[in-house]
Amino acid sequence: MRSSTSLRTRLALLIALLIASMSWIFGAFISKDFSARLRDSAGFELAELAYQMGDRLDRDMAGRAEVMEVMAELGVMRQPEAREQQARIIDQLQISMGELAWLGLLGSDGTVQVASQRILEGANIAQRPVYQQGKDGMFIGDVHEAVLLASLLPNPSGETMKFVDISLPIESDEGELLGVLAAHLSWAWAEEVSRSLLNPAQQRRNVEFFVLSAEGTVLLGPKGWVGESLAPLLQDKIGGRGANRRVVEWAGPQPGAFLTGIASADGHADYPGLGWTIVARQPLEVADEPARELQRDIVIAGSALAVIFAFVGWLASSHLTRPLQQIARAADKLADGKPAEIPVIRGVRELEILSSSIRHLVEALGRQENRLGEMSELAMTDRLTGLANRSGFEHYLRKHDQNSPMALLFLDLDGFKQVNDQLGHAAGDELLKLVAERLRSKVREGDLLVRLGGDEFVMVLNIRPEELEITARQIAARTLSALGTPMLIAGEETKVGCSIGGAFWPADGQTTEEVLAKADRALYKAKGSGKHQAVFTTDV
């Protein structure tokens, strides 16, 4: 009796140890793999958020500059006798543009003739950059404080007010300087942009934005960070339109490890930008929380199974030892990463339950790993169009045979902004889906279609060397024709078209980044030459 009890106890302990070990080993392996994939996916999302923030700021700045240019062209702004009408126009513009803190019309000598809310009227600001730079052409100044203006404007928050300057000359038909139109944009507008980009889920995950000057000084950031230098973050930042992501140990007001995404604000259209860098960060412990939860769940489930099956084993008799040893050997192989299958035990219900449950556990862990692969695939797919996204594009290029030639077609829609503005963002999304469908019909098996973001697409064409350029041009022509055909959006016939820049690998660069950059420049050439056309590197 004493011997029988000892065998049961040992059997129960063996089963408990076996199940717990499998759970811990598989839990640790899956958690580590999931954590790496999760960081890569979350890091790419942060880099995308940083890029969107920079693009939004540049687009807004470019839009404000266009409004100023239109206003400067108004005939009434050239008429000194029309001060009352000028004042009404300036006041109305300030009301309609909430971020416009001050707008003024300066005389040719720098004296403020008309200003919003009559602030600074009669003052001479000829020594200020808005006049000195603005009288010679369009001037957009970086973020700065303006002590005099801040003292005259309402400031409910009590925080230091900062502004961005825009000014440009007003000239007669003969080119004579008549005055300068100058504006101070409230920098609080950038904070509104950052809040609008963060959805509630991202806010709960403690995602934060930083806007850095060209020298790395924080222009916009969480409390306590403004004015701090983050220049080390810029040292190995990918230039141009690229973005990178990595884990960074931060010092300063809030030290710690953060998952960080970095992107450059490179301007928009004719606006060259001010050299800003956008940083989005998330505490590493927050980013890794799903991986820790997964590991904890696996360990808990494994521990629960260990207790359950230890009890079943305790009830088993000595003649069950051999099939249990078979199960243990197979489980040990699985734990060592070797191929094996848990045997199916027949005849004894408890052993059948044990073997079946362990098989289900192994299958569940396998399905979990498959789901991780599916999550990785989703992280490389654009949710709106179903095309590859920037992460998928980078993954494709890493896997690409360096000896195999290809053509890169860089597409940018013409007139997409007008559709968004006139019909709304939902219509804009529907338009992007239709564009993706039409582009799919133009690529072939083995090619890749990518949505980089916004209304920018890339077609990666794998073509035989002797047909590379002629086939790429044919596909570009068919694409122009397809996108030039009107589409029915929100019940209205809409036509956008596109411009294409083409480059070839490896003829146009040693790396795919160089080739893509040349395709981007060719696209810029196509835009500047009248839009709705394809320009290849061999054309310029």
- Who contacts 317 (Cβ-Cβ below 8 Å, separation ≥6)? none
DSSP string, 203-247: HHTT-EEEEE-TTSBEEE-STTTTT-B-GGGGTT---TT-EEEEE
What is the DSSP secondary structure assignment for residue 533, as one 8-state letter? S
What is the Cα 179 distance to its own chain's centre? 42
Distance CA 73, CA 83 (A): 16
C-alpha torsion sign, points 124, 130, 136, 138? negative
Nearest CA to 456 out of 396, 424, 427, 498 is that of 498
Distance CA 457, CA 455 (A): 7
- In contact, 201 and 274? CB cutoff 8 Å: no
| In the block, residue with structure tokens 């030459």 | 529
Distance CA 123, CA 71 (A): 22
- Who contacts 396 (Cβ-Cβ below 8 Å, separation ≥6)? 388, 448, 450, 460
Residue 109 catalytic? no
* Candidates 55, 60, 455, 508; catalytic one: 455
Nearest CA to 296 out of 27, 35, 21 is that of 27
| In the block, residue with structure tokens 């808005």 | 130
Q: What's the half-sphere exposure (Cβ side, CA atoms, 13 Å) at 374?
A: 6
Instruction: Count Cβ atoms below 10 Å from residue 60 Cβ, excluding itself.
Output: 18
Nearest CA to 516 out of 273, 269, 241 is that of 241
So which residues are the catalytic ones? 455
